[in-house]
Amino acid sequence: MSAKQKPNRIKPRLPRGFADRGAAEIAATRRMTETIRAVYERYGFEPVETPAIEFTEALGKFLPDQDRPNEGVFSFQDDDEQWLSLRYDLTAPLARYVAENFDALPKPYRSYRAGYVFRNEKPGPGRFRQFMQFDADTVGSASPAADAEMCMMAADALEALGIPRGSYVIKVNNRKVLDGVMESIGLAGNENAGKRLAVLRAIDKYDRLGVDGVQALLGEGRKDESGDYTQGAKLTEDQTLAIVEFIFSGANSQGQFSKQGSLPLTRSTLPSAFSVRKFDNAGRVKNLRTLFPKNATYNEGLDELQAIAAIAANFDPEGTVISVDPSVIRGLEYYTGPVYEAELTFEIKDDKGRPVRFGSVGGGGRYDGLIGRFRAEPVPATGFSIGVSRLQSALTALGKLGAEKETGPVVVTVFDRERIADYQRMVTALRNAGIRAELYLGNPKNFGNQLKYADRRNSPCVVIQGGDEKARGEVQIKDLILGAEIAGLSTERDDYLRKQAEAQFAVPEADLVRAVREVLSRHR
RNA sequence: GCAGCUGUAGCUCAGUUGGUUAGAGCGCCGGUCUGUGGAACCGGAGGUCGGUGGUUCGAGCCCACCCAGCUGUACCA
């Protein structure tokens, strides 16, 4: 053919951060959501669903001092010029829903929902621009018991998903405690809002950068491996030390961290620090009590943490699941009290054997001000969200998911083109018996191709009826899974023949359904 | 956004100090095969060597800029 003059075809491709999903992945997602749903239901939550698009103002994502939405959210203008956005989480839309239907809902209102959310940001491992979250929220209860329940339910959900106790941790902190710390070191007031933000960001990086990194970020700044420089919060040395001491006091009760000398916890020693895995939450709260005893906000936050720890102690007497951790921050936007974060504690490697950082697989917290944006009165609320997509990609990278192909349908092959109706009748018989079945609809000329097709579909077996079988009133059943096993093994001749007979055999036409059922039951 | 690294077939990669018409394995399609998939043999399709410009008699290779991907970092509800 002529080499040149190729039509200018569109290149099929996906925007980055978006993914197609095949049968195996969809099945895995379905199993996961069904598992989580069962746990949430058991805790007494009921489903509610909201659309993927909301008014941007309802999501609260306009850029400050501009009438354009934040760049992190996908937004567009409706034909009446109003800004609409794809939801970036399931919490803000729930707040809108509750505010809009406030009088009709029982309080406390306990609800759950799964759905895709969208964020316009740089993707990475386990990080997508469209991904699924599975949320549960309790609206109308200010009790720490509601927060404790979120932590317990998150733990139950992760374990139901097959993540064993000890392979994950639910970290808990309280925004009031952090606020109290900053008030106590002279960072209260509007003029310090920027510094407070920088401090929270620095603390948030503790598990990734270790103490040295956080210390650098609280002070002058930090240079990363690529040589890029991050401006620090420019705190005084006293302020920096107070915060570092605060972070450590949450862990001191284990006796493994000490403040003098070089600080022991760095990025490289982090995994072994995790492996200690015995959380004395009451002791940590007690330690934290001594730091800023005069600050009311701080003490209020600790009271709540203490209450959560007490409830958690019943759920988790071994102290391996729920961990009070002063370095947990979560989002900077709407959390007002307790915050939680679920993390996997084992290492995950990519296909080249390099360790991959997946980040948290779930999180949440108390957002007492969010619904109040729509109403005159404040409405307390707390919730937890499981990052289904991220968890799924973590488990897949771990080799725990998506390895096995879904079993395909039984394929009825075509030998004589004139007898399509006969073959279709067999398919119908199988379908009526509740068996997934299909007629081979490709070109039947080459019989081998029909078996190749069935093989590709991962069919358990095929049905064959040529002229010889027809004359005897029989059909052949060929067990493809057994056949594959035989081909793999180099067995003794007798053994081979016996298995061969098992793998393909003839039955009277009337016994078709029964024989296929028998083959299916072999491979269940 | 910033920084570093990497771009050759669907995938994994080779391609000499710059030298004819750019290769291999796997995969894909077809044939041997009007009665049997995973085997064997044979054949075929598939590349503007990421793009543009430059240096040169000559560029996959050298230079500049751009684009994309990866990693780190920033932001992250």
Q: Tell me the pLDDT tens digit for each residue of A106-155.
A: 999 999 999 999 998 888 878 889 999 999 999 999 999 999 999 999 99
Given pLDDT bands bounded at 50, 70 and 90, which one contains residue A265?
very low
The set of strand B positions with any atom below 7 Å of a protein CB reads 1-4, 30-38, 46-47, 68-77
Local structure of residue A372 (DSSP, 8 states): G
Q: Are A143 and A77 in contact (CB under 8 A)?
A: no
The strands making up A474-479's β-sheet, listed across from edge to edge, are: A437-439, A410-412, A461-464, A474-479, A504-508
Please name each of the domains of chain A with its CATH number: 16-52+87-167+346-406 (3.30.930.10), 176-335 (no CATH), 410-522 (3.40.50.800)
Give yes or no for CB of A504 within 7 Å of strand B: yes
Give yes or no for CB of A228 within 7 Å of strand B: yes
* Minimum CA–C1' distance nucleotide for A224: B73
* Minimum CA–C1' distance nucleotide for A478: B36
Q: What is the pTM of this model?
A: 0.89
What integer is the mean pLDDT of A240-249?
A: 88
Give yes or no for CB of A225 within 7 Å of strand B: yes
The SS3 of residue A149 is helix
Give yes or no for CB of A63 within 7 Å of strand B: no
User: pLDDT of A486-519, one tens digit each?
Assistant: 776 655 667 777 788 888 999 999 999 999 999 9
Alpha carbon distance A455, A449 (integer Å):
10
Q: How many CB atoms lie within 10 A of CB A280?
A: 18
In chain A, the percentage of residues whose pLDDT exceeds 70 is: 89
User: pLDDT of A327-376, one tens digit each?
Assistant: 999 987 889 999 999 998 877 776 666 677 777 899 999 999 999 999 98
Residue with tokens 């605060």: A246
Pairing of strands A348-349, A75-77: unpaired
- The distance (Å) linking the CA of A22 with the C1' of B64 is 43
Alpha carbon distance A390, A7 (integer Å):
40
Give yes or no for CB of A209 within 7 Å of strand B: yes
The answer on pLDDT for A482 being more than 70 is: yes
Given pLDDT bands bounded at 50, 70 and 90, which one contains residue A484?
confident
**CA A490 to each of CA A294, A344, A452, A479: distance values in angstroms, whole numbers, following the listed order:** 79, 43, 22, 18
Give residue A348's pLDDT.
75
**CA A275 to each of CA A159, A272, A346: distance values in angstroms, whole numbers, following the listed order:** 18, 5, 9
Residues in A 418-477 whose C-beta is less than 7 A from nucleic strand B are 445-449, 451-452, 454-455, 464, 466-469, 476
